[in-house]
Amino acid sequence: MTKKFEEFNAKFKFLFALEKDTEVARALNIPDTSFASMKRHNNIPYDKVIKYCEEKCVDLNWIINLK
């Protein structure tokens, strides 16, 4: 079973041409250690993702629609 965080992280990296978790954390304005903890606990920072996508005019349906 794929963790939702891993699926989210892969989509976010693809969509915004990022390669590393640290780049995702920086884009979402989250400290690296907090991002690592979220990843470990499978917690997606929805509030940060929504804000970032709205700022970039990106449709949330694709990135948030996780299985």
Q: Are 28 and 52 in contact (CB under 8 A)?
A: yes
What Rg, from alpha-carbon coordinates, does the chain have?
11
Token pair, residue 23, equals 């780049």
CA 5 to chain centre: 7
pLDDT value, residue 1: 46
Q: What is the DSSP secondary structure assignment for residue 62, as one 8-state letter?
A: H
13-47, pLDDT tens digit by residue? 999 999 999 999 999 999 999 999 999 999 999 99
Domain boundaries, the chain: 4-64
Please state, in angstroms and rounded to a whole number, the distance separating the CA atoms of residues 7 and 63: 9
Tokens representing 6 are 């891993």
pLDDT at residue 55 in the model: 92
